[in-house]
Structure formats: C-alpha cells, structure tokens
Amino acid sequence: MNFWETVDSELEYQKKERKDLAAAAGFDVSNIGKGMKNGSIPLADTAVRIANFLNVSVEYLVSGGKSLGSFSNSDISNDFRKFFFYRRMVNKIDSLPEKTKSAIVEMFEKI
C-alpha cells in the first residue's frame, strides 16, 4: 500500500469523504487519485494536515504504524494488502443487519 492507498482506506474505515479531506488539508481532491496512481507521497506539511484530519500519525500513513526499518518493502506491501482486505470485509460485515452479522460470526467460530 502506498501513502494515498492508506489514506483512502482510512477514509473508508472512518466513513469520511475524499472531498472533506481535500478541503481540510488544502489540496484538490484529484490529488488523491493521482497520488495513488503515481505512488507518491505529499510534501511534509500536507501529510501532517492529512494525518491531523484522520487523527492518525504521518508514520501510520506511510508505514501502517510499523517501523519501516524492521520490514522489507515486500513484507510491508503484503501485510498491508492483507490488513486492508480483511478490514474492508469487517467493515462490510459491521454494516449488515444484526441477525446476519451473528450468523457470520457463528460460522467463523465453527471453523
């Protein structure tokens, strides 16, 4: 996951909109898509405003909260893909009716 993919995933998790982030951090909303495509990282002051809006650290946005020195790039990439994949699934399950959610939890507990 690159910086902007982490930002986008955090926006989804917090149920916040890209346009609100862009307005709060002072950049055009199209920068998110461009940054995701290019794998870029914004200037430090912009990264700080983004982190403040999301109430997370800049380190988290860059590394997902892990110390970059302790992992190789492929470890980070694979771990983040798994993390964000499962986090999206959990968010979807949370939005289901309680009865459906209970059935899914019961199914997982039996596995």
Query: Cα 81 to the chain's mean position, in Å?
Result: 10
Mean residue pLDDT across the chain: 83
| pTM across the whole model | 0.59
Judge contact between 21 and 7, C-beta under 8 A.
yes
pLDDT tens digit string along 57-103? 888 888 865 544 544 555 555 666 777 778 778 888 888 999 999 99
**pLDDT at residue 21, rounded to an integer:** 95
pLDDT of residue 56: 87
